[in-house]
Structure 1
Amino acid sequence: MAEAPGPTAQRGMSVEELLALPVAFSLDVSNRALAVGRTKGFDLARRGEYPVPLIKIGNTYRVSRASLLDLLGVADNSEAAAVAPAAASSEQTTQPA
């Protein structure tokens, strides 16, 4: 009888984990979010067939959070939340005395 996979074998990411990602991150992190194995992910990247645009820096691949969230259909409300307070403060009205 096979044992259940341990916590290190977790595939995919929750929405909370996705939204907590930095602006750009490694291909390994993206592979985990997409539930793609490491070998398959790097093979797709090498062939130019990775499902999101990649940023190549030297021998390293990076993935932007915006591209990954867009592919997965997850709304990134952190940008809207950062803009909303600024917009609200500029829309203050003065009341006549």
Structure 2
Amino acid sequence: MARKAWTAEELRAQGLTVPARVAFEAAGIGETHGYRLAKSGELPFEVLKIGRKYRVPVASLLKCLGIENETKVTA
């Protein structure tokens, strides 16, 4: 399945945080590998664990991707 190319505008429209799977997709990280990295604290962006779910602050994701002021995320 093809990955979605998220724009910074689309990510910001999600609110203050996005589900981890959205962050992985935007960063070009596979979901299984992404969750493994999240559990070990090795992702290059901030991850919040809320109950059993992982959320990623949009600002942290955009900063990590270096696209705070750009419009397209390409992974």
Shorter-chain TM-score tier: 0.7 to 0.9
1:89 corresponding residue in structure 2: none
2:21 corresponding residue in structure 1: 28
Name the amino acid aligned to 1:55: L
Count matched residues.
69
Identify the structure with the greater helix proportion: 1
1:58 corresponding residue in structure 2: 51
Shift of 1:75: 2.3
Shift of 1:20: 3.0
Shift of 1:47: 0.8
Bigger RCO (CA 8 Å, 6+ sep): 2
**What CA deviation, in whole Å up to 9, does each residue of 1:43-89 have, x standing for no partner?**
0001110111111111111100100111111225xxxxxxxxxxxxx
Larger radius of gyration: 1
Give the TM-score taking structure 1 as reference length. 0.61
Identical counterparts, % of pairs? 39
Gaps of 5+ in 2: 70-75
2:40 corresponding residue in structure 1: 47
**C-alpha distance in 2, partners of 1:65/1:32?**
13
Give the 4+ runs in structure 1 shifted more than 6 A.
none
Give the TM-score taking structure 2 as reference length. 0.77
Name the amino acid aligned to 2:35: F
